[in-house]
Structure 1
Amino acid sequence: MAIKVWDYLREYENEKEEIHAAIERVLKSGSLILGENVRNFEREFANYCDVSFGVGVNSGTDAIFLGLKALGVGAGDEVITVANTAVPTVSAIVSAGATPVFVDINPDTYLMDTSLLENLITKRTRCILPVHLYGQCVDMDDVRKAANKHGLKILEDCAQSHGASFKGKKAGSMSDIAAFSFYPTKVLGGFGDGGMVITNNEELYKKLKRLRFYGMEKTYYAEDHGYNSRLDELHAAILLSKLTHIDEYIERRRFLAEQYNKLLFNSGLTLPKTMQGNQHVYYLYVCRNPGRDNIIAELKRRDILVNISYPWPIHTMTGYKFLGYKTGDLPHTEKAAREIFSLPMYPSLTNEEQMIVADALHDILSKIN
C-alpha cells in the first residue's frame, strides 16, 4: 500500500464517533447557517490564538480577501508578500483590487526575507502580508518595525501555521488581522473548505461580520457592499470537535519532524531549519536537494508519494504575467522551487511508515550521490 504525503482516514476512524455526534447535533438543531456552532467555534479558536474576535468564512482565500477589504486595501494600493506561497495568497490580493509586490525569501527558512522590506515600500504600499509558511512564523519584529515606521497595516497569512508561535506570541496575534484556512490538509482541517479571520480590533470584527454576509448586520439591509462567505454550522461543529485535539496533532507532528531530523541526518538532504524564536508546528516537512525530481520519481516507484510546495513561484505564472516580473527577479525563491519537496507528514503517519520513507531516501541518495 502506498505511503501518502497526507492522509486523513486513520484520524477519521479514531475520531468518527465525535464527528458523527457533532453532525447529528447540527442536523437536529434546526439551525444550519450562522448558528451557535459557528459562534462557539469563532470564540474558541480566537481564544486559542490569543485574540479577541473570530469571524468564520467559507475558505482561507476569502479570509485573506475579506481581511484586506476590512483594512480598506483596494485599487491603487500595493501589498508586499512572497511568491513562494500558495496561489490563494496572491489571488486574494488581486481580487481585492490591490497589486502584490514580491519580496524574496530567506534561503534557509523559505520565509519572507524581512531585511528586504524597506527597499520595497513606496507611497502606494498599504499593507505587509507575511506568510507563515510550512508551520513556522516570519520574523514579526521586523515586519512590525517596518509597518510602524511607514504607517502600514499587517495581515498574517496563517493558513499553514495553526498553533505556531514567534517569541511566545501565537500566529495570528501579531497583526491587525490574520487569516486561517481549515482546508482538510491543514494542522486543523475539516472535511471541506472553511476559513476564519481573527483580530483584536472590535471595529474590524464588526466590519468583517458585515462583509461576510452581504454587508448586513441585524436586518436585511446592506450597510456596506458585502459578499457571501460563511462558515456553515456542520463544518464549525466538526472543527470545534477537532480543536480539542489540536495540541495532540501538533505534538505528533513535532515528534515526526524530530525523528526525520535524526533519521535523515547526513543523508544528503537539506533538512528544515527553525528560525530562532519560533515554535514550529510542521504543517509540512520540507527537504531540499538539487536532484529533487529524480528523487521524487524513484520514491514514487517505491509507492512513496511526496509533494512540492511550490514548484512554480507565482511571479513566473502566466496568470500573473501582468504584474511585470520575470525569471531572475527573485533568485532565492526560484532556486528553492527547483529543489524543495515535502515528505509524508500527518499525525496518523506511523513510525514504521516513516522508517520506510527514511530508508528509501538513504538508498536513493546513496546512488545519486
Structure 2
Amino acid sequence: MNIDFANLTKAYKEREEEYLSVTQEVMSSARYILGKETEELESSLAQFTGTKHALGVSSGTDALLLAMMALGIRGGDEIITTPFTFIATAETIACLGAKPVFVDINETTFNIDASQIESAITERTKAIMPVSLYGQMADMDEINAIGTKHNLAVIEDAAQSFGATYKGKRSCAASTIGCTSFFPAKPLGCFGDGGAIFTDDHELYEKMKAMRVHGQVKRYTHKYIGMGGRLDNLQSAILNVKMRYYEQDIARRQQIAEQYSEKLAKVVKTPEVLQDRTSVWAQYTIRVSEREKIQGALREKGIPTAVHYPIPMHLQECFDYLGYKKGDFPVSEQCAAEVMSLPMNPYVTKEEIEYITTNLKELVE
C-alpha cells in the first residue's frame, strides 16, 4: 500500500467541476487581482470566524508582516513568540528589524507556555505572537490578559488552526489581529499561495487594507509604506468553493484523528486537545523515540511521515545573532527531537489508518 500524505489530487478531483467553473469565470472576466471573488471570500471568512473584518492577502507570511506593519512594529522592538514553529513566525519579526523573544512551550499542546510570557516582557516589548500549532489554539485568555495588562497587541499566528475553537471563539477571532495561511496543504488551502488577516478594529482594518496595496488609499496616493500583498481572484474563487464544504472537511479530519487516537493511545504519545477547545488537525502529530529509524521503516511500507519541526527557531543558524543556545528551551528541544506527523487529510481511509497503525505498533512495541 502506498499512502498519500496530503491527498491534494483527491481533494481536487472531488470538486473538479466546481473549480473549473469558477476559475473559468475569473479568467474570462480578465479580473485577476481583487474584485468580487475576493470580496465574497472576505465576507464569508469574517462571518465564519465572527470577526468584523477579514482581508485576503498573498500568503500567511505576508499576513503576519502586514499585521506588524499596521501595529507600527519597527527596528529595536521586541515580540514574544514560540521557538517551536515554522520559521515564518520569527522570520517576519526579524524582517522588520524587530527582535524575536522566545518563550518555551507547553508540552501538552505544543503551544507557547502562557505562564512564562510575563517574565520575558521588557520595555521594548510591543506584542505577543502565539502560534496555534498543529490545529489547536493557544491559551488565548491568559495571553490576552497579559497583553491588556502591559498594553501589548496580540497577534495570533493561526496558519494551522483556521476553523478551530477556543471557549466558543473561532481561531483568528480571539486577539487583536489573527493571521492565517491558505497554503495548499493547510486545512483550508488554495491552489497556490494565499492568506488572510482578521480584526475587529476598524482603524487597523483600513490601515492593513491600504498597506496590502502599497499603502495606497486612492490611485497613486500613498498614506503608508506598504507592500504588494493582494490575494488574486483565482485563489479567492477556489477558496469560495472550499468554504462551502469546510465544516464537513473539519468533521472528517476529526473522525480520522479519533480513529488514530483510539488505535495508538496505548502505543505512543498521541496529541491531546484540551476540553475548552477544538482542533482542525492540520497535522496529527505523535511523539516517538528513535524517530528516524521508525520513519525509515514506515517509508519502506509506503507510509509517509513528516516532522514539524526538527530544529527549534533558537537553534537555527539565521538566529545565531540572538544569542540563544542549546538548553535554553528544553521542552521545545525535546519535542523537536520526538514529534512525527502521520498522514492527515479528509481522505484518509479506515483501511489506511489500520495499515498505518498496525505497522507503527509493530515498530514501537
TM-score w.r.t. length of structure 1: 0.97
Show the counterpart of 1:316: 315
Show the counterpart of 2:174: 174
8 A Cα contact 1:181 1:196, kept in partner: yes
Provide the rounded CA distance (Å) in 2 between the counterparts of 1:68 and 1:209.
13
Q: For residue 341 of structure 1, what is the amino acid of its counterpart?
A: M
How far apart are residue 4 of structure 1 and its match?
2.7
Show the counterpart of 2:35: 35
8 A Cα contact 1:272 1:286, kept in partner: yes
8 A Cα contact 1:86 1:310, kept in partner: yes
Provide the rounded CA distance (Å) in 1 between the counterparts of 2:74 and 2:4.
40
Show the counterpart of 1:294: 293
Show the counterpart of 2:217: 217
1:327 aligns with 2:294: no
How far apart are residue 2 of structure 1 and its match?
2.1
Show the counterpart of 1:357: 356
How far does the alpha carbon of each residue in 1:247-305 deviate from its partner, in whole angstroms, 9 at most, with x for none? 011000000000001111211x1000112311111111110012222111110111111
Show the counterpart of 1:116: 116
8 A Cα contact 1:8 1:348, kept in partner: no
Show the counterpart of 1:252: 252
Instruction: Please say which of residues 178-187 and 2-11 is displaced more in the overlay.
Output: 2-11
Q: For residue 280 of structure 1, what is the amino acid of its counterpart?
A: S
Q: For residue 309 of structure 1, what is the amino acid of its counterpart?
A: H
Gaps of 5+ in 2: none
Q: Pairwise mapping of residues 98-109 of structure 1 onto structure 2 (< 5 A)?
A: 98-109=98-109
Query: SS at 2:345's partner residue?
Result: coil
Percent identity between the two aligned chains: 39
Query: SS at 1:327's partner residue?
Result: coil
Show the counterpart of 2:136: 136
TM-score w.r.t. length of structure 2: 0.98
Query: SS at 1:134's partner residue?
Result: helix
Provide the rounded CA distance (Å) in 2 between the counterparts of 1:348 and 1:165.
22
Q: What stretches of structure 1 move > 4 A for 4+ residues in a row?
A: none
Gaps of 5+ in 1: none
Query: SS at 2:355's partner residue?
Result: helix
Provide the rounded CA distance (Å) in 1 between the counterparts of 2:260 and 2:78.
40
8 A Cα contact 1:5 1:342, kept in partner: no
Q: For residue 342 of structure 1, what is the amino acid of its counterpart?
A: S
Q: Pairwise mapping of residues 74-113 of structure 1 onto structure 2 (< 5 A)?
A: 74-113=74-113
Provide the rounded CA distance (Å) in 2 between the counterparts of 1:318 and 1:289.
26
Provide the rounded CA distance (Å) in 2 between the counterparts of 1:141 and 1:54.
22
How far does the alpha carbon of each residue in 1:185-209 deviate from its partner, in whole angstroms, 9 at most, with x for none? 1110011100111111111111101
Query: SS at 1:190's partner residue?
Result: coil
Show the counterpart of 1:285: 284
How far apart are residue 5 of structure 1 and its match?
2.2
